[in-house]
Structure 1
Amino acid sequence: MRKLLIYAEQGFTVIALLIYSGAILTLLLSGGAGQNEVVEYDSLLNRISFFVIYGITLLLLILRWKKTLYVLVLNKDIFLYSLVMLTVVSIIWSFEPSTTLKNSFTLIGSSLFGLYLVSRYSLKEQFYLFAWTFGIVIVLSFIFAIALPKYGIQNDGTGRPLLRGVFTHKNGLGARMVTSSIVFFLLAYQSKRRSWLFWGGFSLSILLLLLAGSTSSLLNLLILILAFFAFQIWRWPYQVTVPTLIMIATISQSLYFWFSNNAGVLLTSLGKDATLTGRTDLWPLVIDMILKHPWLGYGYGGFWQGWDGESAYIWLNAGWTPNHPHNGYLALWLDLGLLGLGLFLLGFWRSYLQGLAWVRSSNTALDIWPLMQMTYIFLASLTESTLLESNSITWILYVAACFSVRMGHERKIKS
């Protein structure tokens, strides 16, 4: 009976991760709508799914209240806790209080799931659950593309078919396959048994990434693989580590300057325009609106309300109708002002430093995961707005990474 309950809980975790990743459900409810199609659909099933997850998560945390309390007290992550609470408090000055109330509630629910992952599973157990989750995504994405092309294939507007798998957009598939690639890569690198299976998952993740045509995700993955080996170097003796990292930093800076001077040519060769698909034209307009309420923002989720909200200025001047600024830092600044952005950056930097200390004292590839995940969030937030997005696996994995490095840091101090 005990084993059955354990398997049931693991099944719940995998299903929840699938739903939080945005896979399957939203795509099916939208009827496989195309990239430029605006469709209305009943999202009741989606909302019910999340409410069920919140309820079960809270119940499981209460049942293990001692472990839950231990993780919460041990972490003492004042910046993370304050950031989540600020989303709730922002109801006071929000331009759309009802949206802020709803979004802050779902953010708390998502954060609790991140807490649940760390308090219930070891890092190794989390990895195997991630592998199951992304394995299901990979298999279903190929099935949707072959058997249900209306759902699995997306037209990019130029007649070129691109794979979106079980997501509503190719960039969604691309983003998830970056995380999937890293999960399978670390498992394959670490494992002595069944490594072929994990290398297979890694290869299929990259294949889906290529078929999705998500250039930014592919670039992020390349940087993350290089970062992994840099973190491995960080474990070497200081007399070797320091000159090696200085050399890597010098080469990276040279590449950055080269890219800055040749960005237009390089982006064109990759099929991208110099404005990053309109992002660089959008950002100055967003900054204009940020400067009107720079300190506290418009409230969590209070800005993007279409023509009826402050976002009307963006829509009118941009010539298109974005629902987010395509930059996580600008999105956070819009919502919670410089106060919210500052809390995130301070918390991020603190957790990153603790992660570096943890990696320095450990010797397994899996221990690098929190740093890899935080590095990915930092990179992805330059062009996407999922930094503080509720009901998002990105935020959940960030919360889990922060808790994990803090616990590892405390164990290092005690030892």
Structure 2
Amino acid sequence: MPFLARLRWLEVVCVGISLLLFSEALLGRVFATPENPEGGAFLRFLWLPIYGFGAVAILARWRDFAAIVIRSPALVALSCLAVASMFWSVDPGTSLRRGIAILFTTVFGFYVASTLTWKQMLRVLGIVWIILAVGNFIAGAAFPGFGRMHEIHVGAWNGLWFEKNALGGYLARASFLFAFLLMVDKGNRRWWGFGLFLSVLLVLLSTSKTSLLGMMLGFGIIFCYLWMQRGRIVTISTLWLIVGLTGAGYLVLTVAPEAVVALIGRDLSLTGRTDIWEVLLQLISERPLLGYGYGAFWGEQNGPAYQVWLATEWLVPTAHNGILEVVLALGWIGGGLMIIDFLMNLYRSASTVSSRPTSLFAFGTMALFALFSVSESVFLLQNNLTWVTYVAVAAKLSLDARNRVRARAEQKERTRTARRPAMV
């Protein structure tokens, strides 16, 4: 194997290992606690080589990096705002440390997008999730004292993470990835089929209702895409059917919301989450523009989180809502930037899904983020595979947008050249 090819192979392997570490599987269980998921000095220093690797490697692809930055202004501003929040944070030291972490986590997502093609990125993610799925199954099957819950949700599998919803959420998103790869990567269907089987099994064993709903949403998106490939009439009919079902669903939610949430084993409080949100909205109103500082709200025992714990009578660890978590940290300015970036990526993927199959994966990723953000904090998480995946997909959509602009410019130039009168 030539030296450059060997070096390239080593780079891809390093990306895969880094993504495995970003999953926080097992590492958090060994070196951290649910109360302090950031862990001690070991976990903090563990990320430094990964940050350095991504930052140095991206210099070799600075043109792609610049294109991503230019076409993802809200995402870049959001990450920089997290670092700047140290100046108004209730805990400046924590906001600085975690702000730098989220900035470099975002940069690593940019690096993944700039160094790997869509096919390479999806395959690497697929391999990572097969490894994680096997590891979680072994943890739950062979070591039930470690891989299953015992105090609450007795018997539910949590695998290599602290909580069943983490296992269910991760594997629900992985199941969509495997289903997509099963559709487009025909040469490796046996592996992706195996990954799909394991991920579905683990979602069921986690007993997480939201994760089950997310998995069904992912499969539904792929089914609709395949169905709409049958022709224009089918496509239009399907779109009208989706609009009709959406309207009917909204009507049912308005008239009889209790019946709908009961179908998924919930109540109107979403297992107490609305009580948390009510208190959080009051606290947000006290610092609406810039929030309490990135990663600082849930820190100190005598900090603002104490009011939430006092009102809800339990140690709430997060906002259990993606946007509210961002607003707590960075105010409505940060929340607005997050919404803008999400909507931009949703539009970029939806508007090109008929011409680029990879846009289907991007659209499904955004849809799953929207679903899980209702009840979980999934946005702007430092050292987290979920956020790296979001950033990498957003960055890929940015590069696709740049390439489309270039293609149109080249086409115009060819047309202009063809229309010029020939020299006699």
With normalisation by structure 1, the TM-score equals: 0.90
Give the equivalent residue in structure 2 for 1:358: 352
CA RMSD after TM alignment = 2.4
Q: 1:396 aligns with which of 364, 388, 392?
A: 388
The one-letter code matched in structure 1 to 2:119 is K
Letter in 2 for 1:194: N
Amino acid paired to 1:400: A
Q: Which moved more, 1:93-102 or 1:64-73?
A: 64-73
Deviation track 1:39-78 (CA, whole Å, cap 9, x = no partner) reads 899633222221121111112122x1444445436x4322
In the alignment, is the contact (CA less than 8 A) between 2:68 and 2:398 conserved in 1? no
Deviation at 1:268?
4.5
What are the Cα deviations for residues 199-258 of structure 1, in whole angstroms up to 9, with x where unaligned? 221111000000011110110121222223445577787666445312211112212432
In 1: Cα distance, 2:39 partner to 2:111 partner: 29
Aligned match for 1:52, one of 49, 53, 56: 49
Structure 1 counterpart of 2:366, from 368, 374, 378: 374
**Is 1:105 matched with 2:100?**
yes
Give the equivalent residue in structure 2 for 1:122.
Answer: 117
State the partner residue of 2:212.
218
Aligned length in residues = 405
Matched letter for residue 317 of structure 1:
A
What per-residue deviation string (whole Å, max 9, x for no partner) do you get for residues 94-147 of structure 1? 111111101110001101110111110001001111111111111111211233
| 2:96 aligned with 1:94 | no
Contact 2:58–2:111 (Cα < 8 Å) also in 1: yes
Q: Please, which of 179, 199, 202 is the counterpart of residue 205 of structure 1?
A: 199
Q: Please state how far the C-alpha of 1:29 moved relative to its aligned partner.
A: 2.8
Partner of 1:146: 141
1:368: how far off?
A: 1.5
Letter in 2 for 1:212: S
- Does the CA-based 8 Å contact 2:181-2:192 persist in structure 1? yes
Residues 41 and 92 of structure 1, relative CA distance in 2, 3 Å threshold? closer
Q: What's the counterpart of residue 12 of structure 1?
A: 14
Q: Which moved more, 1:254-263 or 1:369-378?
A: 254-263
Partner-residue secondary structure (3-state), 2:156: strand
**Structure 2 CA distance for partners of 1:205 and 1:100, relative to 1, 3 Å:** same
Equivalent in the alignment of 1:25: 27
Deviation at 1:310, TM superposition (A): 0.9
Normalising by the residue count of structure 2, what TM-score does the alignment of the two structures yield?
A: 0.88
- Aligned residue in 1 for 2:318: 324
- Which amino acid letter does the alignment assign opposite residue 46 of structure 1? L
Which residue matches 2:152?
Answer: 157
Describe the shift of the 1:40–1:57 C-alpha distance in structure 2 as closer, same or farther (beyond 3 A).
closer
In structure 2, C-alpha distance between the alignment counterparts of 1:354 and 1:40, rounded to whole Å: 34
State the 1:381 CA deviation.
Answer: 0.7
Does the CA-based 8 Å contact 1:386-1:392 persist in structure 2? no
Which residue of the other structure, out of 163, 183, 196, is the alignment partner of 1:189? 183
Q: Secondary structure of the equivalent of 1:407? A: helix
**2:134·2:198 contact (CA, 8 Å) conserved in 1?**
no
Pick one of 72, 79, 83 that aligns with 1:77. 72
Point out the more displaced range, 330-339 or 189-198.
Answer: 189-198
Larger radius of gyration: 2
Q: 1:243 to 1:413 in 2, by over 3 A?
A: farther
User: Is contact 2:83–2:103 with CA below 8 Å preserved after alignment?
Assistant: no
**Taking structure 1 as reference, are residues 414 and 40 closer, same or farther at Cα in structure 2, changes over 3 Å only?**
closer
| CA 1:206–1:405: 2 relative to 1, 3 Å | same
Q: 1:273 deviation in Å? A: 3.9
Q: Whole-Å Cα distance in 2 between the matches of residues 126 and 389 of structure 1?
A: 20
CA-CA distance at 1:6 after TM superposition: 2.9
SS of the counterpart of 2:122?
helix
| Percentage of pairs with the same residue | 27
Q: Partners in 1 of 2:17 and 2:79 — Cα distance?
A: 25
Partner letter of residue 117 of structure 1?
Answer: V
Do the aligned partners of 1:371 and 1:401 also contact (CA within 8 Å) in 2? no
Change over 3 Å in CA distance of 1:113–1:41 after alignment to 2: closer
What is the match of residue 303 of structure 2?
309
Amino acid at match of 2:84: V
Structure 1 residue 173: Cα displacement: 0.8
Q: Report what 1:407 is aligned to.
A: 399
State the SS of the aligned residue for 2:282.
helix
Inter-CA distance 185–106: structure 2 relative to 1 (3 Å threshold)? same
CA–CA distance in structure 2, aligned partners of residues 163 and 256 of structure 1: 33
Whole-Å Cα distance in 1 between the matches of residues 160 and 24 of structure 2? Answer: 8
CA shift in 2, pair 1:67/1:24, >3 Å: farther
Q: Structure 2: 5+ residue runs without aligned partners?
A: 408-424
378, 390, 394: which one aligns with 1:386: 378
Give the letter aligned to residue 144 of structure 2: P
Structure 1 residue runs of 5 or longer lacking an equivalent are none
Q: Is the contact made by 1:28 and 1:151 (CA closer than 8 Å) also made in structure 2?
A: no
Aligned pairs (5 A) from 1:59-74: 59-62=56-59, 64-72=60-68
Q: 2:45 is matched by which residue type in structure 1?
A: I
Give the Cα separation in 2 of the matches to 1:273 and 1:191. 40
Select between 96-105 and 268-277 the one with higher mean Cα deviation: 268-277
Q: Which amino acid aligns with 2:104?
A: G
How far apart, CA to CA, are the structure 1 residues paired with 2:372 and 2:38? 29
What is the DSSP-based 3-state SS (H/G/I as helix, E as strand, rest coil) of the residue aligned with 1:193? helix
Checking the alignment, whether the CA contact within 8 Å between 1:358 and 1:409 is kept in structure 2 is no
